[in-house]
Amino acid sequence: MLAAALSLPLFEGNLLAFRHLEGADRVSGALGMFARVALVLTGVLSLRGYDLVVRGPDRGTLDLHPVPAVAYARARLARAAREALPAACTAFMFLLPVADSPPLLLAGALLLGGAAAAGVCLGVGVNLAAPGLGTNPAMAGLLDALRGANPRAQAALLWAPAGALFLGGLSVLGAMASLERALLGVDPGWAGAALPLVAVAIGARLAHTDADSLARLPGVLGEVEASWSAAEAAEEGSAVYMDWVVPRLPAAWQRETLRVLRHGWRGERGWLSLGFVGAAMAAAAGFLDPQRPERAALVMLTAAAGVGILGPRLRAREPGWLLLALPAPGRTLAHGVALWLWMQSIVLAGPIAMAVRNLPGAGEMLLRGELSALALAALGARLSTGGYAAVAVLVVAAGAFS
């Protein structure tokens, strides 16, 4: 939802501009929009298939006893299809802008419907088949090219979601190209619209895997998790995002700042990773929308304000009684410094993108960003979540529109 909210300023100029076009441009624009939504839909549903098959809550018992392969595959496909309905319905809302054009409406419906079905079937099928494909001699060449230091069986499971995304994406883009040619009268056939159905057939075929492949899954998954734990344990001892800055800070700040950086990286990595998404969106906004720099500023500062919420979140977790017993001088300052450091990827991304494109105003944008980040970090280090959210809105508005 945060990503969607941050994307909103970009939608109209880059996704819905076709509404103001005519003829072939309108057809291409509309199909481009459908294809993007269809790709997202396929991606989301195929990753949900991975969740169901590989990470599902049922694994605790399924991993101990024989599993009837055919019935299991059918049940997983049925559940994935049922769970896909809300996402598919949401995607179909993107048909509304072409409601006045029946051919475009039909093409969009075919593309989105095909993408949803392909996402469901590939997500379940490819991931179910992956442990078996990892031992299939016919796959050895491909897996050796992909696996790096991983054994083939692990590589098959690790690359399965990417394989599902690749096949689904290929079928969607192929269908889009075919539909575009059909709507523009270049090619009389709509047969290419059936490409997602080919992906559906592949996914459904793969889903009907053998019992050995199902029984192999816990072992392969256990290996992946053990490798991950070993890598993570090594990382935990050495690397925390932005900790390289700490030795360059005044000595009195270092200990507490490092503590906050560690707690944030280890306890709120998901939230910080969303900050990276915000940085990418700020860069995209700076790069794609040269006429409206305030939009880029809005995206950038909204994302930075989102990172600032980490301040109250981290403080809420700290045990007050322990802080009384072990006083931590400079704690508020350390939170402010850590928040400011975490905002840097976002604050720098937009101006750098503008500078790369040689657009005027990059320096001003950087100044606005840094001043706003300082204000947001100071607020985040002191206020509660509610108070911070209320004041951060004002900071963002002032930074973006001043």
Using CB under 8 A as the criterion, which residues of the chain lie in contact with other proteins when the complex forms? 58-61, 63-68, 151, 153, 210-212, 214-216, 218-220, 222-223, 226-227, 229-231, 233-234
Of 61 and 291, nearer to other proteins (C-beta) is 61
Name which of 8 and 231 has its Cβ closer to other proteins.
Answer: 231
For residue 76, the minimal CB distance to other proteins (Å) is 16
Q: Which two tokens stand for residue 245?
A: 């800055």
Per-residue exposure over 135-154, b if at least 16 CB sit within 10 Å of its own CB, e if not: beeebeebbeebbeebebbb
**Residue whose CB is less far from other proteins, 147 or 315:** 147
Closest separation between CB of residue 216 and other proteins, Å? 5
Q: How far apart are CA 314 and CA 317, in angstroms?
A: 5
Q: What does the alpha-carbon distance between residue 283 and residue 276 come to, in Å, rounded to a whole number?
A: 10
CA 173-54-156 angle, to 5 degrees, is 65
Taken in order 235, 240, 244, 247, the sign of the CA dihedral is negative
Name residues whose C-beta falls within 8 Å of residue 129's C-beta, 6 or more positions apart in sequence.
160, 206, 207, 209, 213
Stated as kind and residue range, the H or E segment containing 383 is none
Question: What is the torsion angle, in degrees rounded to the nearest 10, for the CA atoms of residue 3, residue 6, residue 9 and residue 12?
Answer: 10
* CA 81 centroid distance within chain: 21
> What DSSP line would sit under 275-344, residue for residue?
HHHHHHHHHHHHHH-TT-HHHHHHHHHHHHHHHHTHHHHHHHHS-HHHHHHS--TTHHHHHHHHHHHHHH
- Least separation in angstroms between residue 60's CB and other proteins is 3
DSSP 138: G
Q: Give the residue from 335, 330, 331 showing the smallest Cα distance to 313.
A: 335
Q: Cβ of residue 228: shortest distance to other proteins, in angstroms?
A: 10
Minimum separation from the CB atom of position 149 to other proteins (A): 11
Q: Please answer whether residues 54 and 80 qualify as being in contact, where contact means their C-beta atoms are separated by less than 8 angstroms.
A: no
* Residue number, 82 or 317, with CB nearest to other proteins: 82
Q: Residue 66 Cβ, how far from other proteins at the closest point, in Å?
A: 5
Using alpha carbons only, give the angle 225, 228, 230 rounded to the nearest 5 degrees: 110
- Residue with smaller CB distance to other proteins, 144 or 212: 212
Q: List the one residue out of 110, 109, 125 whose CA is nearest residue 201.
A: 125
DSSP 8-state class, residue 194 = G
Nearer to other proteins, 63 or 318 (CB): 63
**Environment class of residue 371 by beta-carbon count within 10 Å: exposed (0-12), middle (13-18) or buried (19+)?**
middle
Q: Is 180 exposed, middle or buried (0-12, 13-18, 19+ CB in 10 A)?
A: buried
